[in-house]
Protein backbone atom coordinates (compact mmCIF):
# COMPACT_ATOMS: atom_id res chain seq x y z
CA UNK A 1 0.00 0.00 0.00
CA UNK A 2 1.46 3.41 -0.89
CA UNK A 3 2.39 5.66 1.98
CA UNK A 4 -0.03 8.37 2.89
CA UNK A 5 1.32 11.79 2.03
CA UNK A 6 0.76 14.69 4.41
CA UNK A 7 -1.35 17.24 2.56
CA UNK A 8 0.05 20.68 3.27
CA UNK A 9 -2.11 22.73 0.95
CA UNK A 10 -5.83 22.75 1.53
CA UNK A 11 -6.58 24.75 -1.60
CA UNK A 12 -5.84 24.37 -5.31
CA UNK A 13 -3.22 26.68 -6.74
CA UNK A 14 -4.49 29.97 -8.17
CA UNK A 15 -1.13 31.30 -9.32
CA UNK A 16 0.08 31.44 -12.90
CA UNK A 17 2.79 29.26 -14.39
CA UNK A 18 6.42 29.70 -13.39
CA UNK A 19 7.12 31.46 -16.67
CA UNK A 20 4.65 34.27 -15.91
CA UNK A 21 4.83 34.76 -12.16
CA UNK A 22 3.32 38.06 -11.09
CA UNK A 23 2.97 39.85 -7.79
CA UNK A 24 0.36 37.90 -5.82
CA UNK A 25 -1.36 40.98 -4.36
CA UNK A 26 -1.73 43.98 -6.60
CA UNK A 27 -5.47 44.50 -6.64
CA UNK A 28 -8.39 43.16 -4.69
CA UNK A 29 -9.84 40.09 -6.39
CA UNK A 30 -13.60 39.51 -6.09
CA UNK A 31 -14.47 36.12 -4.69
CA UNK A 32 -16.43 35.09 -7.80
CA UNK A 33 -13.41 35.84 -10.01
CA UNK A 34 -11.24 33.76 -7.70
CA UNK A 35 -13.61 30.79 -7.91
CA UNK A 36 -13.85 31.05 -11.68
CA UNK A 37 -10.08 31.02 -11.89
CA UNK A 38 -10.13 27.75 -9.97
CA UNK A 39 -12.69 26.29 -12.36
CA UNK A 40 -15.29 25.76 -9.65
CA UNK A 41 -17.61 28.73 -10.20
CA UNK A 42 -21.16 27.70 -9.48
CA UNK A 43 -20.08 24.44 -7.85
CA UNK A 44 -21.00 23.39 -4.33
CA UNK A 45 -17.94 23.79 -2.13
CA UNK A 46 -17.19 21.22 0.54
CA UNK A 47 -15.15 21.64 3.70
CA UNK A 48 -12.44 19.58 2.07
CA UNK A 49 -11.95 22.02 -0.79
CA UNK A 50 -12.28 25.50 0.62
CA UNK A 51 -14.68 26.19 3.48
CA UNK A 52 -18.17 25.16 4.45
CA UNK A 53 -20.79 27.27 2.72
CA UNK A 54 -22.19 28.16 6.15
CA UNK A 55 -18.90 29.74 7.21
CA UNK A 56 -18.57 31.53 3.89
CA UNK A 57 -22.05 32.99 4.27
CA UNK A 58 -21.32 34.01 7.85
CA UNK A 59 -18.06 35.81 7.01
CA UNK A 60 -18.85 37.12 3.56
CA UNK A 61 -19.90 40.50 4.90
CA UNK A 62 -16.43 41.02 6.28
CA UNK A 63 -13.52 42.26 4.21
CA UNK A 64 -9.80 42.74 4.52
CA UNK A 65 -7.77 45.81 3.79
CA UNK A 66 -5.21 45.33 1.09
CA UNK A 67 -2.46 45.51 3.71
CA UNK A 68 -4.03 42.94 6.02
CA UNK A 69 -4.51 40.53 3.11
CA UNK A 70 -0.89 40.99 2.06
CA UNK A 71 0.37 40.28 5.58
CA UNK A 72 -1.76 37.16 5.90
CA UNK A 73 -0.66 35.90 2.48
CA UNK A 74 3.00 36.24 3.38
CA UNK A 75 2.41 34.48 6.68
CA UNK A 76 0.49 31.70 4.90
CA UNK A 77 3.49 31.19 2.60
CA UNK A 78 5.87 31.19 5.56
CA UNK A 79 3.77 28.58 7.33
CA UNK A 80 3.63 26.42 4.19
CA UNK A 81 7.42 26.54 4.08
CA UNK A 82 7.65 25.66 7.76
CA UNK A 83 5.25 22.75 7.34
CA UNK A 84 7.37 21.42 4.50
CA UNK A 85 10.61 21.42 6.47
CA UNK A 86 9.01 20.09 9.65
CA UNK A 87 7.37 17.28 7.71
CA UNK A 88 10.83 16.16 6.58
CA UNK A 89 12.08 16.21 10.15
CA UNK A 90 9.04 14.27 11.34
CA UNK A 91 9.33 11.59 8.66
CA UNK A 92 12.83 10.70 9.84
CA UNK A 93 12.98 11.74 13.50
CA UNK A 94 9.46 12.31 14.78
CA UNK A 95 6.30 10.28 15.27
CA UNK A 96 4.40 9.20 12.18
CA UNK A 97 0.68 8.78 12.88
CA UNK A 98 -2.75 9.83 11.64
CA UNK A 99 -2.18 13.38 12.87
CA UNK A 100 1.10 13.76 10.98
CA UNK A 101 1.29 10.94 8.42
CA UNK A 102 4.16 10.24 6.06
CA UNK A 103 7.49 8.48 6.44
CA UNK A 104 8.49 5.63 8.70
CA UNK A 105 11.40 6.97 10.76
CA UNK A 106 15.16 6.51 10.85
CA UNK A 107 15.98 4.67 14.09
CA UNK A 108 19.56 5.85 14.62
CA UNK A 109 18.75 9.44 13.63
CA UNK A 110 15.82 9.38 16.06
CA UNK A 111 18.12 7.95 18.74
CA UNK A 112 20.69 10.69 18.10
CA UNK A 113 17.99 13.35 18.44
CA UNK A 114 16.90 11.76 21.72
CA UNK A 115 20.34 12.56 23.14
CA UNK A 116 19.16 16.19 23.22
CA UNK A 117 15.91 15.20 24.96
CA UNK A 118 14.07 11.91 25.36
CA UNK A 119 10.86 13.46 24.02
CA UNK A 120 12.33 14.98 20.86
CA UNK A 121 10.22 12.80 18.57
CA UNK A 122 7.01 13.99 20.25
CA UNK A 123 8.07 17.64 20.10
CA UNK A 124 8.96 17.33 16.40
CA UNK A 125 5.59 15.72 15.71
CA UNK A 126 3.70 18.46 17.57
CA UNK A 127 5.63 21.28 15.94
CA UNK A 128 4.86 19.78 12.53
CA UNK A 129 1.15 19.54 13.27
CA UNK A 130 1.09 23.10 14.64
CA UNK A 131 2.59 24.57 11.47
CA UNK A 132 0.16 22.62 9.31
CA UNK A 133 -2.81 24.01 11.24
CA UNK A 134 -1.38 27.53 10.93
CA UNK A 135 -1.11 27.43 7.16
CA UNK A 136 -4.52 25.82 6.70
CA UNK A 137 -6.22 28.28 9.07
CA UNK A 138 -4.68 31.40 7.53
CA UNK A 139 -5.58 30.28 4.01
CA UNK A 140 -9.11 29.39 5.11
CA UNK A 141 -9.50 32.79 6.75
CA UNK A 142 -8.33 34.54 3.59
CA UNK A 143 -10.92 32.65 1.56
CA UNK A 144 -13.66 33.43 4.11
CA UNK A 145 -12.96 37.13 3.52
CA UNK A 146 -13.03 36.85 -0.27
CA UNK A 147 -9.24 36.94 -0.70
CA UNK A 148 -7.01 34.50 -2.55
CA UNK A 149 -5.26 31.80 -0.52
CA UNK A 150 -1.61 30.98 -1.17
CA UNK A 151 -0.29 27.83 -2.81
CA UNK A 152 3.34 26.91 -3.37
CA UNK A 153 2.55 23.50 -4.82
CA UNK A 154 4.15 24.13 -8.19
CA UNK A 155 7.47 24.67 -6.43
CA UNK A 156 7.47 21.26 -4.73
CA UNK A 157 10.33 20.05 -6.92
CA UNK A 158 13.31 19.62 -4.59
CA UNK A 159 14.50 16.07 -3.91
CA UNK A 160 13.80 14.15 -0.72
CA UNK A 161 16.36 12.47 1.46
CA UNK A 162 17.17 9.01 0.13
CA UNK A 163 17.51 7.60 3.64
CA UNK A 164 15.13 4.85 4.71
CA UNK A 165 12.09 6.43 6.34
CA UNK A 166 11.69 9.46 4.06
CA UNK A 167 8.89 9.79 1.54
CA UNK A 168 10.04 10.20 -2.05
CA UNK A 169 8.01 13.30 -2.90
CA UNK A 170 8.81 16.78 -4.12
CA UNK A 171 9.86 19.28 -1.44
CA UNK A 172 9.84 23.05 -1.06
CA UNK A 173 12.85 23.17 1.25
CA UNK A 174 16.36 21.75 1.31
CA UNK A 175 17.56 20.51 4.71
CA UNK A 176 20.73 18.96 3.34
CA UNK A 177 22.78 22.09 2.51
CA UNK A 178 22.22 24.39 5.47
CA UNK A 179 24.36 27.24 6.75
CA UNK A 180 22.88 27.76 10.21
CA UNK A 181 22.96 31.12 11.98
CA UNK A 182 23.21 30.47 15.73
CA UNK A 183 23.58 34.11 16.79
CA UNK A 184 20.07 33.89 18.28
CA UNK A 185 21.76 32.07 21.16
CA UNK A 186 23.92 35.04 22.20
CA UNK A 187 21.25 37.58 21.20
CA UNK A 188 18.80 36.27 23.79
CA UNK A 189 21.49 36.21 26.49
CA UNK A 190 22.79 39.74 26.04
CA UNK A 191 21.82 42.25 28.71
CA UNK A 192 23.03 45.29 26.77
CA UNK A 193 22.41 44.72 23.06
CA UNK A 194 19.31 44.54 20.89
CA UNK A 195 19.24 43.97 17.10
CA UNK A 196 16.60 46.71 16.83
CA UNK A 197 19.42 49.16 17.64
CA UNK A 198 21.69 47.66 14.99
CA UNK A 199 23.63 45.45 17.39
CA UNK A 200 25.17 42.22 16.11
CA UNK A 201 25.91 38.95 17.89
CA UNK A 202 28.43 36.13 17.61
CA UNK A 203 27.44 32.61 16.66
CA UNK A 204 27.28 30.03 19.43
CA UNK A 205 28.37 27.32 16.99
CA UNK A 206 30.75 29.09 14.59
CA UNK A 207 31.34 26.08 12.34
CA UNK A 208 27.63 25.81 11.48
CA UNK A 209 27.75 29.34 10.06
CA UNK A 210 30.24 28.38 7.34
CA UNK A 211 29.99 25.73 4.67
CA UNK A 212 26.93 23.58 4.07
CA UNK A 213 25.63 21.07 6.60
CA UNK A 214 22.89 18.47 6.50
CA UNK A 215 20.32 18.33 9.29
CA UNK A 216 18.75 15.06 8.14
CA UNK A 217 20.41 11.87 6.92
CA UNK A 218 20.84 12.15 3.15
CA UNK A 219 21.17 8.41 2.64
CA UNK A 220 21.53 5.40 4.91
CA UNK A 221 25.30 5.99 4.79
CA UNK A 222 24.74 8.89 7.21
CA UNK A 223 23.18 6.60 9.81
CA UNK A 224 25.50 3.61 9.79
CA UNK A 225 25.92 2.10 13.28
CA UNK A 226 29.24 2.58 15.09
CA UNK A 227 29.69 -0.21 17.67
CA UNK A 228 32.43 1.80 19.40
CA UNK A 229 29.96 4.54 20.39
CA UNK A 230 27.14 4.56 22.96
CA UNK A 231 23.94 3.37 21.37
CA UNK A 232 25.85 2.65 18.16
CA UNK A 233 25.38 6.33 17.22
CA UNK A 234 28.30 7.50 15.10
CA UNK A 235 29.79 10.97 15.49
CA UNK A 236 28.47 11.82 12.01
CA UNK A 237 24.91 10.83 12.89
CA UNK A 238 25.12 12.77 16.16
CA UNK A 239 26.50 15.82 14.37
CA UNK A 240 23.56 15.72 11.98
CA UNK A 241 21.14 15.52 14.91
CA UNK A 242 22.95 18.36 16.73
CA UNK A 243 22.70 20.46 13.58
CA UNK A 244 18.96 19.78 13.48
CA UNK A 245 18.62 20.79 17.12
CA UNK A 246 20.11 24.22 16.47
CA UNK A 247 18.23 24.57 13.19
CA UNK A 248 14.91 23.91 14.94
CA UNK A 249 15.50 26.93 17.16
CA UNK A 250 16.74 29.08 14.27
CA UNK A 251 13.51 28.51 12.35
CA UNK A 252 11.22 29.15 15.31
CA UNK A 253 13.01 32.26 16.59
CA UNK A 254 12.24 33.73 13.17
CA UNK A 255 8.51 33.20 13.64
CA UNK A 256 8.80 34.46 17.21
CA UNK A 257 9.87 37.86 15.87
CA UNK A 258 7.97 37.92 12.57
CA UNK A 259 4.47 37.82 14.04
CA UNK A 260 4.87 40.79 16.43
CA UNK A 261 6.76 42.70 13.74
CA UNK A 262 3.88 42.38 11.28
CA UNK A 263 1.17 42.74 13.94
CA UNK A 264 2.14 46.41 14.22
CA UNK A 265 1.00 46.94 10.61
CA UNK A 266 -2.45 45.34 10.61
CA UNK A 267 -5.71 47.28 10.65
CA UNK A 268 -8.33 44.74 11.66
CA UNK A 269 -8.60 43.83 15.33
CA UNK A 270 -9.52 40.30 14.25
CA UNK A 271 -6.41 40.00 12.10
CA UNK A 272 -4.40 41.32 15.03
CA UNK A 273 -5.93 38.59 17.17
CA UNK A 274 -4.85 35.98 14.62
CA UNK A 275 -1.26 37.22 14.58
CA UNK A 276 -1.03 37.41 18.37
CA UNK A 277 -2.58 33.97 18.81
CA UNK A 278 -0.40 32.16 16.28
CA UNK A 279 2.66 34.21 17.20
CA UNK A 280 2.39 33.03 20.79
CA UNK A 281 2.68 29.43 19.64
CA UNK A 282 5.82 30.29 17.67
CA UNK A 283 7.30 31.65 20.90
CA UNK A 284 6.45 28.39 22.68
CA UNK A 285 8.17 26.46 19.91
CA UNK A 286 11.28 28.61 20.12
CA UNK A 287 11.66 28.27 23.87
CA UNK A 288 11.29 24.49 23.59
CA UNK A 289 14.00 24.19 20.94
CA UNK A 290 16.20 26.76 22.68
CA UNK A 291 16.21 24.46 25.68
CA UNK A 292 16.96 21.31 23.66
CA UNK A 293 19.80 22.86 21.65
CA UNK A 294 21.62 23.44 24.92
CA UNK A 295 21.78 19.66 25.37
CA UNK A 296 23.67 19.05 22.13
CA UNK A 297 26.36 16.40 22.55
CA UNK A 298 29.89 17.82 22.56
CA UNK A 299 31.73 16.89 19.36
CA UNK A 300 35.01 18.02 17.87
CA UNK A 301 35.98 18.29 14.20
CA UNK A 302 33.48 15.86 12.73
CA UNK A 303 34.15 15.78 8.99
CA UNK A 304 31.31 15.22 6.57
CA UNK A 305 32.53 12.46 4.21
CA UNK A 306 30.40 13.86 1.38
CA UNK A 307 31.34 17.55 1.50
CA UNK A 308 34.56 17.51 3.51
CA UNK A 309 33.14 20.25 5.76
CA UNK A 310 34.02 20.01 9.45
CA UNK A 311 31.74 20.85 12.35
CA UNK A 312 32.33 21.11 16.09
CA UNK A 313 29.86 21.43 18.96
CA UNK A 314 31.76 22.80 21.95
CA UNK A 315 30.73 22.70 25.59
CA UNK A 316 29.05 26.10 25.78
CA UNK A 317 29.36 26.18 29.56
CA UNK A 318 33.16 25.97 29.55
CA UNK A 319 35.99 28.33 28.45
CA UNK A 320 36.51 29.91 26.01
CA UNK A 321 32.70 30.02 26.06
CA UNK A 322 30.75 30.08 29.32
CA UNK A 323 29.35 33.11 31.10
CA UNK A 324 25.91 34.57 30.47
CA UNK A 325 26.44 34.90 26.72
CA UNK A 326 26.67 31.13 26.35
CA UNK A 327 25.30 29.48 29.51
CA UNK A 328 23.18 26.58 28.27
CA UNK A 329 20.33 26.75 30.77
CA UNK A 330 19.52 30.44 30.21
CA UNK A 331 16.59 29.77 27.91
CA UNK A 332 14.42 32.73 28.93
CA UNK A 333 15.19 36.11 27.33
CA UNK A 334 17.60 38.10 29.45
CA UNK A 335 16.51 41.71 30.08
CA UNK A 336 18.03 44.13 27.59
CA UNK A 337 17.59 47.59 26.07
CA UNK A 338 14.14 48.16 24.56
CA UNK A 339 12.74 51.15 22.61
CA UNK A 340 15.27 53.53 24.18
CA UNK A 341 18.53 53.19 26.05
CA UNK A 342 17.11 55.74 28.48
CA UNK A 343 14.49 53.22 29.63
CA UNK A 344 15.16 50.33 32.04
CA UNK A 345 16.19 46.96 30.63
CA UNK A 346 13.28 44.63 29.90
CA UNK A 347 12.95 40.93 29.07
CA UNK A 348 11.57 40.93 25.53
CA UNK A 349 11.34 39.16 22.20
CA UNK A 350 13.93 40.66 19.87
CA UNK A 351 13.95 41.96 17.23
CA UNK A 352 10.45 43.43 16.94
CA UNK A 353 11.05 46.56 14.85
CA UNK A 354 8.59 46.37 11.98
CA UNK A 355 10.52 47.97 9.10
CA UNK A 356 11.38 45.39 6.44
CA UNK A 357 10.07 42.55 8.58
CA UNK A 358 8.87 40.21 5.84
CA UNK A 359 11.83 40.77 3.53
CA UNK A 360 14.19 40.29 6.45
CA UNK A 361 12.59 36.95 7.27
CA UNK A 362 12.79 35.86 3.64
CA UNK A 363 16.47 36.85 3.40
CA UNK A 364 17.26 34.90 6.59
CA UNK A 365 15.61 31.73 5.30
CA UNK A 366 17.38 32.11 1.96
CA UNK A 367 20.78 32.59 3.64
CA UNK A 368 20.04 29.47 5.67
CA UNK A 369 20.16 27.44 2.45
CA UNK A 370 16.55 26.26 2.67
CA UNK A 371 15.82 27.24 -0.93
CA UNK A 372 18.95 25.89 -2.63
CA UNK A 373 17.70 24.31 -5.85
CA UNK A 374 14.58 26.44 -6.19
CA UNK A 375 14.15 28.36 -9.49
CA UNK A 376 14.22 32.13 -9.84
CA UNK A 377 10.42 32.05 -10.18
CA UNK A 378 10.16 30.91 -6.56
CA UNK A 379 12.38 33.77 -5.37
CA UNK A 380 10.35 36.26 -7.41
CA UNK A 381 7.05 34.99 -6.05
CA UNK A 382 8.23 35.04 -2.44
CA UNK A 383 9.85 38.45 -2.83
CA UNK A 384 6.59 39.88 -4.19
CA UNK A 385 4.71 38.49 -1.20
CA UNK A 386 7.28 39.97 1.20
CA UNK A 387 7.29 43.38 -0.48
CA UNK A 388 3.52 43.57 -0.36
CA UNK A 389 3.49 42.64 3.33
CA UNK A 390 6.15 45.23 4.15
CA UNK A 391 4.18 47.87 2.24
CA UNK A 392 1.16 47.35 4.51
CA UNK A 393 0.24 50.20 6.83
CA UNK A 394 -2.21 50.27 9.70
CA UNK A 395 -5.26 52.23 8.60
CA UNK A 396 -7.15 54.43 11.07
pLDDT in tens, 40-61: 222 223 333 444 444 443 444 4
Backbone φ and ψ for 311, nearest 5 degrees, come out as -140, 145
Inform me whether the pLDDT recorded for 79 exceeds 70.
yes
Q: At what angle do helices 376-390 and 66-93 cross, to 10 degrees?
A: 130
Give mean pLDDT, residues 173-192. 97
pLDDT in tens, 304-344: 999 999 999 999 999 888 888 899 999 999 999 999 999 99
Contacts of residue 167, defined as CB under 8 A and 6 or more positions apart, other chains included, come to 3, 5, 91, 102, 103, 160
Q: Which residue has the higher pLDDT, 210 or 56?
A: 210
pLDDT at residue 142, as a whole number: 98
Give mean pLDDT, residues 112-123. 98
Max mean pLDDT among 23-32, 48-57, 136-145 falls in: 136-145
Report how far residue 381's alpha carbon sits from residue 339's, in angstroms, rounded to the nearest whole number.
33
Report how far residue 168's alpha carbon sits from residue 266's, in angstroms, rounded to the nearest whole number.
39
pTM: 0.86
Task: Please classify residue 182 by burial: count the beta carbons closer than 10 Å to its beta carbon, then call 0-12 exposed, 13-18 middle and 19+ buried.
Answer: buried
Report how far residue 370's alpha carbon sits from residue 179's, in angstroms, rounded to the nearest whole number.
9
Q: Which residue has the higher pLDDT, 274 or 9?
A: 274
pLDDT, the chain, mean: 88
Report how far residue 78's alpha carbon sits from residue 386's, in angstroms, rounded to the nearest whole number.
10
pLDDT at residue 322, as a whole number: 86
pLDDT at residue 320, as a whole number: 84
Inform me whether the pLDDT recorded for 10 exceeds 80.
no
Q: Which residue has the higher pLDDT, 8 or 248?
A: 248
Q: With CA atoms as reference, report the closest residue to 240 among 210, 216, 223.
A: 216
Report how far residue 45's alpha carbon sits from residue 50's, in angstroms, rounded to the nearest whole number.
7
Inform me whether the pLDDT recorded for 392 exceeds 80.
yes
Amino acid sequence: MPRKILTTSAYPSTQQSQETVESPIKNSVPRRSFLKGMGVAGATLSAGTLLSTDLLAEDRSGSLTRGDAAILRFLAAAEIIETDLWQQYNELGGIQDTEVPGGSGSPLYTAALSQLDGDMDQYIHDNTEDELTHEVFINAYLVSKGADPVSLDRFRTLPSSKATGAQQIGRLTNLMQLTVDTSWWTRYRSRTKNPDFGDTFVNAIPTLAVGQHTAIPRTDDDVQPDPTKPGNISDLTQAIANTAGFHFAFVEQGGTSLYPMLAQRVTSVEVLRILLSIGGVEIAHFQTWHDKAGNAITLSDVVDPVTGVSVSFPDLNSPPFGGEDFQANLIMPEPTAFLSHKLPACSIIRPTATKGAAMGALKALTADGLFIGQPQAFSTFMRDLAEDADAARRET
